[in-house]
Amino acid sequence: LIAALFAIQNAMIGCKSVLSLISDRARLTNQSFTTACNTDCNCIGISLYPVCNRKGQAFYSPCHAGCLLDQSFSNPSISKAFHNCSCSNSADREVSRDFCDQSVCEQKFIWYFVNLAISGIFGGMSVIPAILITLR
């Protein structure tokens, strides 16, 4: 019974990652990330490079955030801040990967595995006696 309660609790743990925020936005705009603020940017064919503004709003790429990409960034693993982005509604009009908050998902991820371990322990506590009774 206790194992089932922990398993049910695990089913309710969830969070919105940056990619799910972008996916939700795509569903709302019929799979198009082109808006009035980035129509002149020619973002068709730009690969996925998720960035967020300081308010946590996610964008498919800096181009889709309306940033002027005066230089190409050759190493996407290095985080870079993009300035003067017309679609960013934050005061500084800046976007970066660093602004995407992942701490909530990380905490829930740890909580999920703690629940899973406790559920496994309590589930195993009922299985062992049942096997011993069957063997006798």
Confidence check: pLDDT of 126 > 80: no
Nearest to 67 by CA among 53, 78, 79, 77: 53
- Label residue 9 by pLDDT band (50, 70, 90): confident
- Label residue 133 by pLDDT band (50, 70, 90): confident
| Average confidence (pLDDT) over 47-66 | 88
Boundaries of every domain in the chain: 1-16+102-136, 18-100
Q: Measured between alpha carbons, how far is residue 15 from residues 21, 29, 34, 61, 66 in Å?
A: 10, 22, 26, 21, 27
How much is the pLDDT for 25? 76
Q: CB of 48 within 8 A of CB of 60? A: yes
Model confidence over 23-55: pLDDT tens digits?
Answer: 877 777 776 777 788 888 888 888 888 899 988
Model confidence over 72-111: pLDDT tens digits?
Answer: 555 556 668 888 888 888 888 889 888 888 777 888 889 8
Structure-block tokens of residue 2? 């206790």
Pairing of strands 58-59, 51-53: antiparallel
